[in-house]
């Protein structure tokens, strides 16, 4: 038997699609000095080893937006917006993203961790924004899921 070769593995991002009570989508603007700087994105990021998906969403949302969140219906299956696995979706490396519908349960808007601004946008406002990665597709998938296509 031959010697095993090291392998590269894809990374996993968790992207909470946070909806306000008015149905707006919360986005975070990336600081200018980071990858995709100056563009808006869903306040997500990497799943840590040993971390559950919902814990990751809560951690990332709090860290980037100041908001405390929960899954919209409480079900990972029911709140799944989609799985995004295009190897080119992030130019730095192969990252598979899982997007979930979430609602705000507390906290206050407070940009943090590579984020300069946090704001909530309706569908018309979203159409005018410069959105990073494939997060525009995720947001459109949310509107389809909610029957607003």
C-beta separation of 129 from 37 below 8 A: no
Catalytic residues: 117
Q: Given this model, what pLDDT does residue 92 score?
A: 85
Do the Cβ atoms of 49 and 55 come closer than 8 Å? no
Tell me what percent of the residues of the chain surpass a pLDDT of 70. Answer: 95
pLDDT at 142 over 60: yes
pLDDT one-digit tens code per residue, 121-137: 999 999 999 999 999 99
Q: Are 127 and 43 in contact (CB under 8 A)?
A: no
pLDDT band at 2 (very low <50, low <70, confident <90, very high): low
The string of pLDDT tens digits covering residues 80-122 is 999 999 988 888 889 999 999 999 999 999 999 899 999 999 9
Q: Whole-angstrom Cα distance, residue 57 to residue 62?
A: 8
Other Cβ atoms closer than 10 A to 84? 20
* Domain boundaries, given as residue ranges, for the chain: 11-145
What is each CA distance from 5 to 2, 9, 11, 94, 95, in whole angstroms? 9, 13, 19, 19, 21
Least confident of 3-17, 25-39, 53-67, 128-142: 3-17
Please answer whether residues 69 and 44 qualify as being in contact, where contact means their C-beta atoms are separated by less than 8 angstroms.
no
What's the count of helices (H) and strands (E) in the chain, helices before strands?
Answer: 3, 8
* Architecture of the CATH domain 11-145: Alpha-Beta Complex (3.90)
């Amino acid at each position: 038997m031959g010697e095993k070769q090291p392998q590269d593995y894809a990374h996993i991002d968790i992207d909470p699609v946070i909806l306000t009570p008015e149905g707006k989508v919360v986005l975070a603007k990336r600081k200018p000095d980071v990858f995709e700087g100056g563009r808006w994105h869903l306040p997500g990021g990497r799943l840590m080893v040993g971390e559950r998906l919902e814990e990751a969403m809560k951690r990332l949302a709090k860290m980037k937006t100041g908001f405390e969140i929960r899954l919209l219906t409480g079900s990972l299956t029911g709140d799944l917006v989609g799985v995004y696995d295009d190897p080119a979706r992030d130019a730095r490396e192969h990252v598979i993203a899982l997007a979930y519908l979430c609602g705000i349960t507390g906290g206050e808007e407070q940009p943090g961790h590579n984020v300069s601004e946090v704001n909530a946008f309706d569908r018309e406002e979203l159409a005018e924004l410069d959105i990073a990665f494939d997060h525009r597709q995720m947001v459109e998938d949310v509107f389809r899921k909610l029957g607003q296509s």
